[in-house]
Amino acid sequence: MKVTRVDQRSYVEPVKSVKSKHIEKGNTRSEKPVEEAVKYEPSKNNEPVTYKKTSHVYDHETVAKLKRQSEEAYAHLRGLIEKLLLKQGHSLKTITSEEWAGIQIDEPTRLEAQNMIAPGGPLSAEAVSDRIVDFAKAISGGDVEKLDKLKNAIEEGFRQAESILGQLPEVSKETYKLVMEKLDK
């Protein structure tokens, strides 16, 4: 690293005097008339300026309960699929898409999966729609002003699922319909 000397012969512009019709020499007080100054006009809006605390509170307890229920249903379904794959010499981690096409679903697995999505089951349209609506209410604190935002987010979620999975099964379509009906109430 090279250090160079600071040259003191640098040119500096001298300070220039500015003449003003409002300021006399030595008098820094403005002679501008008060009538020309900006005048304060009170607002016609009588709403308080302070932050209003909303009565809508994020419900951590309900969100945690719904998350736990969802994880339990997912774990049960995943376990069902893992057992099915193991019976046929595969695993979820190593199975290829070609091998998926050859998987045979045995009768006990089919019946258990069918019971999970049947009315009263943990993955039925009614149960899943209840969890989605309860979750939406919990994260919004029940604030109806957030309803459109919540509905748009749910619609987008179903659209994304459809773009990934292709056409959704009838139980998913029924779930979507029930969610929208419950949110409109």
Question: Which DSSP string corresponds to 146-163?
Answer: GHHHHHHHHHHHHHHHHH
3-state secondary structure of 120: coil
Token code pair at residue 139: 């994260």
Predicted pLDDT at 124? 93
Provide the pLDDT for residue 165.
85
Segments in the chain forming alpha helices (H): 60-87, 97-101, 107-117, 125-140, 147-165, 170-184
Exposure of 158 by Cβ count < 10 A (0-12 exposed, 13-18 middle, 19+ buried)? middle
Which pTM was predicted? 0.62
Tens of pLDDT, residues 126-138:
999 999 999 888 8
Backbone angles phi, psi at 65, to 5 degrees: -65, -45
pLDDT of 153-166, one tens digit each? 999 999 999 999 88
Q: How confident is the model at residue 145 (pLDDT cuts 50, 70, 90)?
A: confident
pLDDT at 184: 87
pLDDT given at position 101: 86
How do residues 45-66 score in pLDDT, each as one tens digit?
A: 666 555 555 556 677 888 889 8
Report d(CA 150, CA 129) in Å as an integer: 14
